[in-house]
Amino acid sequence: MRFSFTEDQRLLAETVREVLDKACPPETVRAAGEPEQESVRPGPAWRALAEVGLLGAHIPEEHGGLGMTALDTVLAYEETGWYAVPGPLVETAVAAPLLVPAEHLAGIAAGTVTVSVRPACTPYLPDADVADLLVAGSAVVPRAGVTLTPHASVDATRKLFTVDLDAGPGGEEAFDRAALATAAQLVGLGRRLREEAVGYAGQRRQFGKVIGSFQALKHQLADVAIALEFAAPLVYRAAYSLTHGAPTAGRDVSAAKTAASRAAHRAARTALQVHGAIGYTDELDLQLWLNRVWALRPAWGDDGLHRARLRAALLDGPYEPRSVRLP
């Protein structure tokens, strides 16, 4: 199969990059994690993405959206990963259109309705404090009608909450589409971290030389590049499978999420090693992308869940979705 993205698909990604370059600099992401900024989350990037149509990309045209496919937006979601856009973006723009009543779709496309979604594999609702609607399995409720219990999160810009809601399982299609978009974000995050690491390796000096000249460090950075270049085609294949309704779509999504998670984790670990301990301090913006990788790796299915799905698909065996609740 010969595959390449269309000009329109690439143009959407370029447009998203242009608007986020202005609307979502590191200081905006950093501000989203500050307690006093609760009232302005998810922030200017959200409005910018609504204006370019990404929030309504997966909403049918009759409800104010663009009616796009997963293949149309996968490159754009890589860009949102590159900029670590705060807010429940995947939950609102990718999962929610398949889960919430049609009356809310126009608001999602316009950027005036925000949704937090809890898949069956986790007890947490991300960014529920800024959501208008909460989706837990088959239940859809206004945030104002429930009590949120906050929990510690590795990423201050992606807060976690639990609610006392019992509901049946959510839609499998929504899960696959959200897992794919998250995988695309992880690829974008990995590429950003690789660029930050390469740039810093050309500046930091040890033993009278820039550390980028050390062979051991070159090998580590090359391993990051290889992991990302192997993960990206799996993400694109999964987008193609979902768009065309391939019977292997679930398998392909799990392969993509597993590869993207591992590649982004390798990029995060290597970037932190290149920068040294200062890389995780507030002095540098690097910690914004490190934390987002660690927050997204378990989102929409961790490595264990997706490996189990892969094993079931490849060996033609049974797969039982895990339902996780807090003790």
Q: Write out pLDDT tens, residues 120-147.
A: 888 999 999 999 999 998 889 999 889 9
Overall average pLDDT of the 264-279 stretch: 89
* pLDDT over 80 at 213, yes or no: no
Task: Let me know if residue 293 belongs to a domain.
Answer: yes
Residue 248 is predicted with a pLDDT of 94
Amino acid at 116: S
Task: Let me know if residue 222 belongs to a domain.
Answer: yes
Residue 199 is predicted with a pLDDT of 86
CA 110/CA 124 separation, integer angstroms: 26
Task: Let me know if residue 115 belongs to a domain.
Answer: no
Task: Let me know if residue 10 belongs to a domain.
Answer: no
| Other beta carbons less than 10 A from residue 66's beta carbon | 17
CATH number of the domain within which 213 lies = 1.20.140.10
CA 186/CA 84 separation, integer angstroms: 10
Residue 37 is predicted with a pLDDT of 55
Task: Let me know if residue 79 belongs to a domain.
Answer: no
Task: Please give the biggest Cα pair distance in the chain.
Answer: 64
Residue 298 is predicted with a pLDDT of 95
Q: Which domain holds residue 203?
A: 172-315
| Among 139, 141, 198, 204, residue whose Cα is nearest residue 169 | 139
CA 239/CA 25 separation, integer angstroms: 28
Overall average pLDDT of the 86-107 stretch: 96
Average pLDDT score, the chain: 90
pLDDT confidence band for 200 (50 / 70 / 90): confident
Overall average pLDDT of the 314-320 stretch: 72
* pLDDT over 60 at 321, yes or no: no
* pLDDT over 50 at 299, yes or no: yes
More confident residue, 214 or 11: 11
Give the chain's domain count.
Answer: 1
Residue whose entry in the numeric block shows the structure tokens 């370059």: 21
For helices 286-296 and 249-275, the axis angle rounded to 10 degrees is: 150
Task: Let me know if residue 120 belongs to a domain.
Answer: no
Task: Let me know if residue 96 belongs to a domain.
Answer: no
Residue whose entry in the numeric block shows the structure tokens 């590795």: 154
| Among 230, 286, 300, residue whose Cα is nearest residue 260 | 230
* pLDDT over 90 at 240, yes or no: yes
CA 268/CA 126 separation, integer angstroms: 21
SS (H, E, C) the chain: CCCCCCHHHHHHHHHHHHHHHHHCCHHHHHHHCCHHHHHHCCCHHHHHHHHHCCCCCCCCHHHCCCCCCHHHHHHHHHHHHHCCCCCCHHHHHHHHHHCCCHHHHHHHHHCCCCEEEECCCCCCEECHHHCCEEEECCEEEEHHHCCCEEECCCCCCCCEEECCCCCCCCCHHHHHHHHHHHHHHHHHHHHHHHHHHHHHHCCCEECCEEHHHCHHHHHHHHHHHHHHHHHHHHHHHHHHHHHCCCCCHHHHHHHHHHHHHHHHHHHHHHHHHHHCHHHHCCCCCHHHHHHHHHHHCCCCCCHHHHHHHHHHHHHCCCCCCCCCCCC
Overall average pLDDT of the 3-10 stretch: 92
* pLDDT over 70 at 81, yes or no: yes
Name the CA dihedral angle for 105, 106, 107, 109, rounded to a multiple of 10 degrees: 90
Residue 38 is predicted with a pLDDT of 55
Q: Which range has the worst mean pLDDT, 27-36, 65-74, 86-95, 237-246?
A: 27-36
pLDDT, tens digit, 9 for 90 and up, residues 28-77: 999 888 876 554 556 889 999 999 999 999 999 999 999 999 999 999 99
Residue 263 is predicted with a pLDDT of 98
* pLDDT over 50 at 326, yes or no: no
pLDDT, tens digit, 9 for 90 and up, residues 155-188: 999 999 999 876 656 688 999 999 999 999 999 9
Residue 170 is predicted with a pLDDT of 67
Residue 211 is predicted with a pLDDT of 65
| Other beta carbons less than 10 A from residue 25's beta carbon | 15
Residue 277 is predicted with a pLDDT of 78
More confident residue, 208 or 90: 90
| Other beta carbons less than 10 A from residue 106's beta carbon | 16
Task: Let me know if residue 265 belongs to a domain.
Answer: yes
